[in-house]
A and B are shown apart, each in its own frame.
Chain A
Amino acid sequence: DAGVIQSPRHEVTEMGQEVTLRCKPISGHDYLFWYRQTMMRGLELLIYFNNNVPIDDSGMPEDRFSAKMPNASFSTLKIQPSEPRDSAVYFCASSPGGQGAPGQETQYFGPGTRLLVL
């Protein structure tokens, strides 16, 4: 398997523009997570999905952020409108799931999208 795939790897945009980050999880994984990493706040969980259904979005900072998972192999994180303080590295991760299975909680991360909002 190719692992978790994220695109784009880098994104530079101007304040007010819409930004869409994409993620393809590992095939067969039931869980998908979106994280944001900044110097100040470290690695923050934004939202996660189980079997394409959003379970916990309490980490989403504002209504400007939205995430979807239309099918098991694709998810998007959208910021509209973007602001300079959204500049960060955004990671997508997936994990197998399954009750009681060894290693079910282990999350596998993509390479991240480095976002710069000017």
Chain B
Amino acid sequence: DQQVKQNSPSLSVQEGRISILNCDYTNSMFDYFLWYKKYPAEGPTFLISISSIKDKNEDGRFTVFLNKSAKHLSLHIVPSQPGDSAVYFCAASYSNAGNMLTFGGGTRLMVKP
């Protein structure tokens, strides 16, 4: 029972273009969502988050959009850079979940120079 799904295992984008990574969830109790980036041989690093009271959060080149009715969130990276090549995980949590996060399976992003 995957409550958080990233249906695209990989994505390839040209440098300078937009990267869009998608994530779907099934548990309507989730009220906080996060994106992590992971390089090989390193731990996941926190990238950006959004609360369910918002539908958009922006931080530099990274923007996360949340569509609660569709139970869908996306991460936009504009412009994409080769250094953005990594595995991206979305994660979700809800109040009273004891700070537990439920992770998606990850999407490998490759940004080509």
Contact = CB atoms under 8 A, between A and B. Distances in A.
A binds B: yes
Q: How large is the interface on A (under 10, 10 to 19, 20 to 34, 35 or more residues)?
A: 20 to 34
Contacts, number: 54
B49 A106 contact: yes
Contacts of A111: 41-43
Contact of A109 (B44, B49, B100, B106): B44
B80 interface: no
Contacts of B103: 42-43
Nearest to A97: B99
A111 B42 CA distance: 5
Interface in A92-118: 93, 95, 97, 103-112, 114
B106 A45 contact: no
Nearest to A29: B99
Contacts of B93: 105
User: Which secondary structure dominates chain B's binding surface?
Assistant: loop
B105 to A, nearest CB: 5
A105 B100 CA distance: 7
Contacts of A33: 100
B98 interface: yes
Contacts of A114: 41
Nearest to B105: A42
B89 interface: yes
Interface of B: 32, 34, 36, 41-46, 49, 89, 93, 98-101, 103-106
A103 B36 CA distance: 14
Nearest to B93: A105
Given A45-B100, A108-B46, A114-B41, 10 more contacts: A4-B43, A33-B100, A43-B44, A48-B99, A50-B98, A91-B44, A105-B49, A109-B45, A112-B41, A112-B43
B43 A110 contact: yes
A42 B106 contact: yes
A48 B98 contact: yes
Nearest to B104: A42
A7 to B, nearest CB: 13
B46 A55 contact: no
Contacts of A107: 46, 99, 101
